[in-house]
Amino acid sequence: MAARRLAIVTGTSSGIGEQVARQLLARGWEVVGVARRAAAIDVSHYTHLPIDLGDLARLPPILETQLSPRVHAADVARVALVNNAADVALLGQVDQLKPEGMLQAYAVNTVAPVLLMGWILRTAPLNVPVRIVNVSSGAGVEAFPGLGAYGATKAALRLAGMVLAAELDMRAAAGSARDATVWSYEPGVVETPMQTAVRGSTAEVVPIVQVFQHLAAEGRLRPADVPAAEIVRHLEADGHPRFSEHRFLLS
């Protein structure tokens, strides 16, 4: 029986998530895509789960019934989780934000990814390498006016990944070591639906909207397949620190 490499990728209906899925499939991985909308991927070893990551009550039972048997299968040689999906609809200055929108953004951008990290570590066999990539943002470590809610959710996910890594190190020191790593990855300014949403905003909502408009006008946006390739290389490699991060700084 041939060994399988299995990846769960969220947000595969467009952008970076779609490109990650396509590149993994081309390299022989089995991919399960998680997104509300259908993905334009028609490959035999791709499975699409039409899940709204903001519906936190429905997510755990779907994982257990539809994904746990795949992750726990005896022929799986490597498991990857790419937390890429994000809710970018909540733009605005902090004193304009509505609590309902913040709760939705945290559900999709923070709570669901943390839930998925815990689930995959509990489910994957202890002897199988686990690679977790949390797609982050410069807004998670720097203050960008108008992106307060989005940045806060990404900052929370970044810290959760750091804490998880520290917990895995503590377990390893106590004799329960496993090959599991977390990478917080900033893809930079990429041509994605998020960028379209930000550029279409106003200076009242996103005071630095002109920065994003100028980047697009100057052709400085990265195509989604470039960060996707960096993620795929990371997933296939070994020797990573327990937690690491990739910062992308505009020159």
The pLDDT confidence band at residue 3, using thresholds 50, 70 and 90, is confident
Looking at residue 70, its amino acid is: R
pTM: 0.94
**Residues 49-66: tens digit of each pLDDT:** 999 999 999 999 999 999
What pLDDT is stored for residue 87 in this prediction?
A: 86
**4 pairs with which residues across the strands?**
76
Q: What is the mean pLDDT of the chain?
A: 93
**Residues 94-151: tens digit of each pLDDT:** 999 999 999 999 999 999 999 999 999 999 999 999 999 999 999 999 999 999 999 9
Distance of CA 8 to the CA centre of its chain: 10
Q: Is the pLDDT of residue 221 over 60?
A: yes
Closest alpha carbon to 157 in 87, 59, 72, 227: 87
4-246 adopts what CATH topology? Rossmann fold (3.40.50)
